[in-house]
Amino acid sequence: LTPQHLAYVIYTSGSTGQPKGVMVEHQSTARLFYATFEIFDFTHDDIWAGFHSFSFDFSVWELWGALAYGGKIVIVPRIIAQSSSEFYSLVCSEKITILSQTPSAFHKFIEADRNEQCLLSVRVIVFGGEALSPLMLRPWFARHDNNSIQLVNMYGITETTVHVTYKNLTNQEITNYQGSSIGKKLTDLRVYVLSADLTLVPAGCVGELYIGGAGLARGYLNNAELTA
- Burial of residue 38 (CB within 10 Å: 0-12, 13-18, 19+) is exposed
- Give the pLDDT score at 172: 84
Percent of the chain at pLDDT exceeding 90 = 85
Cβ pair 50, 62 in contact under 8 A: yes
Assess whether pLDDT exceeds 80 at residue 15. Answer: no
Q: Tell me the angle at which helices 26-40 and 58-68 cross, rounded to the nearest 10 degrees.
A: 70
Assess whether pLDDT exceeds 80 at residue 121. Answer: yes
Distance separating alpha carbons of residues 102 and 177, to the nearest angstrom: 20
pTM: 0.93
Cβ pair 129, 153 in contact under 8 A: no
Distance separating alpha carbons of residues 124 and 72, to the nearest angstrom: 15
Residue 151: which of 178, 131, 172, 126 has the closest Cα? 126
pLDDT tens-digit series, residues 50-79: 999 999 999 999 999 999 999 999 999 999
- Give the pLDDT score at 148: 87
Assess whether pLDDT exceeds 70 at residue 224. Answer: yes
pLDDT tens-digit series, residues 130-175: 999 888 999 999 998 777 899 999 999 999 999 999 999 998 888 7
